[in-house]
C-alpha cells in the first residue's frame, strides 16, 4: 500500500486488524518518520521495517515471468 504517510490512525488500525484476522501479508510504503502511534500498533503484529532497496529486494526477490504471464 503506497503513501501510508497520508493515512490517519484509524486507517492504520484497520490495516493491522486486517493483517491479524486474515494473516495476509501487507507491504506499507511510508515516506516519513513513523509516528509514535503507528510504532505502537506495529508492536502488536509481526512486522519488519526496511529502509533500503536492497532490503526490499531480499524480502521479495524478482522471479521473472513464467509462460502464463507472457
Q: How far apart are CA 52 and CA 56, in angstroms?
A: 7
> pLDDT by residue (tens digit) across 10-62?
787 888 788 888 888 777 777 788 888 888 878 877 778 888 888 888 887 88
Would you say 45 and 20 are in contact if contact means Cβ atoms under 8 Å apart?
Answer: yes
Q: Which pLDDT belongs to residue 30?
A: 76
Q: Which pLDDT belongs to residue 40?
A: 85
Q: Which pLDDT belongs to residue 1?
A: 65
Position 2 pLDDT exceeds 70:
no
Kindly report the CA angle at 34 between 32 and 35, in degrees rounded to 5? 115
Q: Which pLDDT belongs to residue 70?
A: 54
**Cell digits for 38?**
503507528
Amino acid at each position: 500500500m503506497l503513501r501510508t504517510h497520508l493515512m490517519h490512525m484509524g486507517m492504520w488500525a484497520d490495516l493491522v486488524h486486517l493483517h491479524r484476522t486474515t494473516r495476509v501479508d501487507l507491504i506499507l510504503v511510508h515516506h516519513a518518520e513513523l509516528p509514535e502511534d503507528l510504532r505502537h500498533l506495529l508492536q502488536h503484529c509481526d512486522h519488519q521495517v526496511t529502509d533500503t532497496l536492497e532490503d526490499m529486494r531480499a524480502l521479495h526477490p524478482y522471479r521473472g515471468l513464467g509462460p502464463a504471464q507472457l
